[in-house]
Amino acid sequence: MAHEVKVPTLGESVTEATIGEWLKKPGDAVALDEPICSLETDKVAVEVPAPVAGILSAQLVAVGDTVEVGAAIAQIEATDGAAAPAPSPAPAAAAPAPSPAPAPAAIAKEAADDDAGDPQTLSPAVRRAVLEHGVDPSTIKGTGKDGRLTKEDVLAAAKAKKDGGAAAPAPSPAPAAADAGATGERTVERVKMTRLRQTIAKRLKSAQDNAALLTTFNDVDMTAVIEARNQYKDMFARKHGIKLGFMSFFAKAACLALKDVPSVNAQIEGDEILYHNFVDLSVAVSAPNGLVVPVVRSVDQMSFAEIELAIAEFGRKAKEGTLTMADMQGGTFTISNGGVFGSLMSTPIINPPQSAVLGLHRIEDRPVAVNGQVVIRPMMYLALSYDHRIIDGREAVTALKIMKEAIEDPMRMLIDL
């Protein structure tokens, strides 16, 4: 009996998605709840599980097609029991053994299709990269958590394969190398934007068009935070099982500022301003398909350890492509750390409908005047971009100054100053 596979409910206000990748092809055996394809929504990638165990008989849509919630995208011929699909891979795996000529181009696809039996599960982004570049994931050493493969691992392996094997496959490597060098061919690759990238572009442009954006800057002496971190990081890690980073300090400093200057934590809705008595902190995280902004809820009620653990978990999920819609929804204020990529200064764009975003940058030693003496201190530039429609310059400058003072004197965060 044929069963239809339908697009599941994707989250509040999300009505459609794009087929990002088929994880199973017609004729493949599938187990109950085994992912058969990956959908790209405006915010995250979502895997569609098989509703029954059986054989995938048809794909009703192609990669890149837009599908609505509830639409049929595939058909599965159900089997009598979950055990039926299991034996089929065994003969298929055994059959090629006597034959020494498997198709090299199929190695990556077979590896991705055999994912359920592999000790590590590949995320949608990693599977896509494996298929696109034709590499064997079993030969790549993963750098992710618990040795899991990341998209960067696959891209690095593909580059190494290309660089190291450019001459080997050709019977006459010398002429091939000469031709490549002599032609100096200029190429252009056309790649369709992912739904996530399209959404990022629309939201950022919307923020520029609809908000009165302005950025105020300050610099902060990181000496006190660095000294506190160096003094307590080992004890902190032993007690809480997580490293003490800088983000928890800035999250706490932001909470102090938002409490004293509530407009920075507010947003416009129609002709009204919504003031929040809580802080749901959006943290900009780099994911394989682009920048995502998961939300740490009620960060103003959390300890340093709880903040670090929450951010680390979001970072892991972003890297593996497992962030959910619930992880991304909401948020009253954003922190974006361009310093991890080496940025010295930037003007971050707010994350609508929020009204402000704090940009962090790299720490570098600079000469500064302290008590009439020129000394070298680890300094960082801070940037607060805000919507001037509801946040006045005085309020923005005051909020950023409170954050600066809290970082330069962390005791303020302990006694609520």
Q: Write out the catalytic residue numbers.
A: 388, 392
Q: CA 276 to CA 264: how far, in whole Å?
A: 10
Task: Give the pTM.
Answer: 0.63
Q: According to the model, what pLDDT value does residue 35 have? A: 87
Contact 56, 74 (CB under 8 A): yes
Contact 359, 348 (CB under 8 A): yes
The per-residue DSSP string of 211-261 comes to S-EEEEEEEEE-HHHHHHHHHHHHHHHHHHSS---SHHHHHHHHHHHHHHS
Which top CATH class is 1-98?
A: mainly beta
Q: According to the model, what pLDDT value does residue 290 have? A: 67
Architecture per CATH, 211-414: 2-Layer Sandwich (3.30)
Q: According to the model, what pLDDT value does residue 182 have? A: 57
Q: According to the model, what pLDDT value does residue 272 have? A: 93
The CA distances from residue 93 to 98, 247, 258, 352, in Å, are 10, 48, 60, 51
DSSP structure class, residue 105: G
Domain boundaries along the sequence of the chain: 1-98, 102-165, 211-414
Per-residue pLDDT of the chain (417 residues), as tens digits, is: 788 888 887 766 677 788 878 888 888 888 888 888 888 776 677 788 888 888 888 888 888 788 888 888 888 888 765 434 444 444 444 444 444 434 433 434 444 444 434 445 566 667 667 777 777 777 887 776 567 777 778 888 887 877 765 444 444 444 444 454 556 789 898 887 777 777 778 888 888 888 899 999 999 999 999 999 999 999 999 999 999 999 999 999 999 999 999 999 999 999 999 999 999 999 988 776 667 889 999 999 999 999 999 999 998 888 877 887 788 888 999 999 988 888 999 999 998 899 999 999 999 999 999 999 999 999 999 999 999 999 999 999 999 999 999 999 998 888 776
Chain centre distance of CA 207: 21
Residue 148 CB neighbours (<10 A): 18
Q: According to the model, what pLDDT value does residue 210 have? A: 87
Q: What is the four-CA torsion angle of 284, 286, 292, 297, rounded to 10 degrees?
A: -40
Token pair for 166:
């450019």
Label residue 169 exposed, middle or buried (CB < 10 Å: 0-12, 13-18, 19+): exposed
Q: According to the model, what pLDDT value does residue 283 have? A: 92
Q: According to the model, what pLDDT value does residue 100 have? A: 42
Q: What is the four-CA torsion angle of 154, 159, 161, 166, rounded to 10 degrees?
A: 160
- Written as one letter, the residue type at 396 is A
